[in-house]
A and B are shown apart, each in its own frame.
Chain A
Amino acid sequence: MSERIAITGIGIISALGMNVQENLYALKNSESGIGKMSFIKSIHQDEFPVGEVKKTDRELAEYLAIPYERTYTRTSLLAMVAAKEAWLDAGDPLEDKCGLISATTVAGMRTSEENYVDFIAYKEDDFFVEAHDAGDGTEKVADFLNITDFITTISTACSSSANSIMLGARMLKARKLDRVLVGGVDALSLFTINGFNTLMILDKEACKSFDNKRAGLNLGEAAAYLVLVPEHKLKKTDRVYGFVQGYANANDAFHQTASSPNGMGAALAMEKALKSAAYTASDIDYINAHGTATNNNDLSEGMAIMKVFGQEIPDLSSTKPFTGHTLAAAGAVEAVFSCLAMQNDIRFPNLNFNEQMEELDFSPITTVIKKPVKTVLSNSFGFGGNNSTLIFSKE
């Protein structure tokens, strides 16, 4: 079997808080971060609740102790906060060959959308043009943390940062790097709020993942990063949150945005991930589901879970009702939550759940369950039929 990949640092900023501790506190106390849209200005302000990071861009820069400049988009600032926490958590890389694999869907859109139309019309105020594309935030993080040996960025819609974790593990196994910072970021934007609204999949209330009366998702914003190190590079002083035990990426090849009703791609991703971990379904203690709370996703994912796990479905929940759907960041956010589940031996509740879905034989857990967690399976699915599954193990 190939070498194991350890997680030695974690960092997160989300609607639940500015760092790992604040996120863990909210999770343990069933305190959702979803609320009224207040930092982004939209006509949908009172219509759709969201999971916002409760800081302005200027406050984020202050938090980072860097001078506020407009070329730092909200996306970059969020990424820098979480990346810094994870990087420092893992300790000094010394002479290690280090890389950064980030992920985003809309990149600097929050900043671009405020300036783009005026710029096209008047050619004034061009500060944002270089911060618009997906590579900008990654370069900002790399420069901030002085990571130079490798950088790249992934964009596979809502499975993006699960894929950055997967690529990071693959690069370490190939001995291309000694240490890699992996994760993803997305800031809330009018582009995504209005985009998801045209698809009519935004809930006007707090989202109800896996509920029979679920009515859509809540959008959120977040950044989350993890430091991965191959086992042979582990030092005695390293704190190991867990291992990236298995991973898989499959494609639903059904529709550009909708998932197949039988969850073909989702099932394939979970089956392949179990195989890559050399696990059977019964080895999984807890599933952190994608569970966006859209009609389509929860049905498709639920069917796939029943196919893969049969009658023995482990404790399962979606943490989207805590954070909102943070798009490209979701996979890394939930990887951090998976680490916290294993570290603290708790399984997080699926908030707002009332009624089991007609089509499914199972319900998610609805309260914090304190019980050993040795293994977690985490799903991330996206537009383009991109389905990814990660499996984490404690030992």
Chain B
Amino acid sequence: MGIYVNGIGLISPQETLDNKVFLESTIELENTYFPIAKPPYKAYINARDLRRMSLVIRHGIIAAKIALADAKIENPDAIMTGTGLGCVIDTEKFLIKMHENKETLLTPTSFIQSTHNTLGGSIAIGLGCHNYNMTFVNRGFSFESALLDAQLMLEQGEINNALVGGFDEMTDNHIQLMLAMPMYKPENGVKVGQGSGFFVLENQKHEQSYAELLAMETLYRPSDSAFDEKLRTLKKQFHLSSENTVLLLGHNGAKKEAEIYNAFARAYFPEATVTAFKHLCGDYYTASAFAFWVASQMLKKQSIPKTLLRSDFHNDIIDNVLIYNRFNETEHSLILLKRC
């Protein structure tokens, strides 16, 4: 049985609303962090609901709607979301109000909206979906864990399809916290971002399928030898070579990270076409969801927009895309997608 990407939806700093268009024009970052390219909210969500929803919930719901419509699925068998921080703006609001008012005169709205599973729950309510519903919150493994859960349930025959997403938002206050972390210290040159990417995975291939999900691996603090073994196994199992594999790497602007990604490409796929994505969406916990959208598009459209290329483009056919993403040096993920 294969697992197929049959619908995609992405709200990001770039114009990614229309899946027919694949990064034809892109913007460069000017600010401290990437703002979201705002979608026409009212086209997707009614005015009454819109008022109650924070931006991250709106963006997640719209991305989910686009992916479901794309796959022509109305009510998925499961909903899995991943997020590093959940609903930051509401968490901050409640925290600051609580501090300012010394624990008095508080209202429940932002508390209710602050939980990490607010989006998963909101999507379920919107769809009237009583099925399996899960939220993962493990830094750079958040979106990956949602993918893994879907993969396991599809493989074990518990479900036929799943809506899987990764979402994170950035706020003016939260960027201050990020900039205090060693990785994001301003002198490192890392650009911080945000976005919401949702995908429909199914155990059936359709004419409109984007890609087949071959493998998803997370590695926590891997030793050099464990990492090496994982790569060799993957290459052997799926017959990957420089000729048939395009790399999509998590370069985040830091020099040290670039060296690691470059060494990775040299060691395992020395002649492969190399691409990168974080210069378009910034670095955040679930940036791999942006990469998942990019890889799906590459495989379906059989093209690579120039802005992504970090090497010459020397493939007649794009057979496989291997996403390698690192978070904070400790969390590594590998996602392998294949042409349908």
Q: Which residues of A contact B (CB under 8 A)?
A: 2, 42-44, 104-105, 107, 112-113, 116-117, 119-120, 123, 126, 129-130, 132-135, 138-139, 142-143, 148-157, 163, 167, 170-171, 173-174, 176, 190-191, 194-195, 197-199, 249-257, 264-265, 268, 382-386
Contacts and interface: CB of A to CB of B under 8 A. Distances in A.
Contacts of A42: 103
Interface string B151-169: 0110110000000000000
Contact of B121 (A135, A199, A383): A383
B152 A170 contact: yes
Contact of A142 (B128, B155, B177, B220): B220
Given A129-B181, A385-B124, A135 B138 contact: yes
Contacts of A143: 221
Contacts of B94: 191, 194-195
B84 interface: yes
B155 to A, nearest CB: 7
A163 B127 CA distance: 22
Contact of B115 (A123, A157, A252, A265): A157
Given A153-B138, A153-B145, A156-B120, 19 more contacts: A42-B103, A43-B103, A107-B137, A126-B180, A133-B285, A135-B84, A148-B221, A155-B136, A155-B137, A170-B156, A194-B103, A197-B106, A251-B129, A251-B130, A253-B127, A257-B112, A383-B121, A385-B121, A386-B133
B296 to A, nearest CB: 23
A170 B153 contact: yes
Interface in B124-144: 124-125, 127-142
Interface of B: 79, 84-86, 94-96, 98-99, 102-104, 106-108, 111-118, 120-122, 124-125, 127-142, 145, 148-149, 152-153, 155-156, 173, 176-178, 180-181, 218, 220-222, 226, 285, 330
Given A135-B137, A151-B141, A251-B131, A105 B177 contact: no
A163 B131 contact: no
19 contacts: A43-B104, A112-B95, A117-B96, A126-B180, A143-B221, A150-B220, A153-B136, A153-B137, A155-B116, A157-B117, A176-B152, A194-B98, A198-B107, A250-B132, A251-B130, A253-B125, A253-B130, A264-B130, A383-B117
A105 B121 contact: no
A199 B220 contact: no
A257 B117 CA distance: 11
B138 A138 contact: yes
B57 to A, nearest CB: 10
Contact of B129 (A43, A155, A253, A257): A253
The winner among A132, A138, A197, A384 for most chain B CB atoms within 10 A is A384
B155 A174 contact: yes
A134 B121 contact: no
B130 A265 contact: yes
Contacts of A249: 132-134
Given A44-B103, A174-B155, A386-B117, A256 B122 contact: yes
B95 A113 contact: yes
A152 B116 contact: no
Contact of B141 (A152, A155, A195, A252): A152
A91 to B, nearest CB: 23
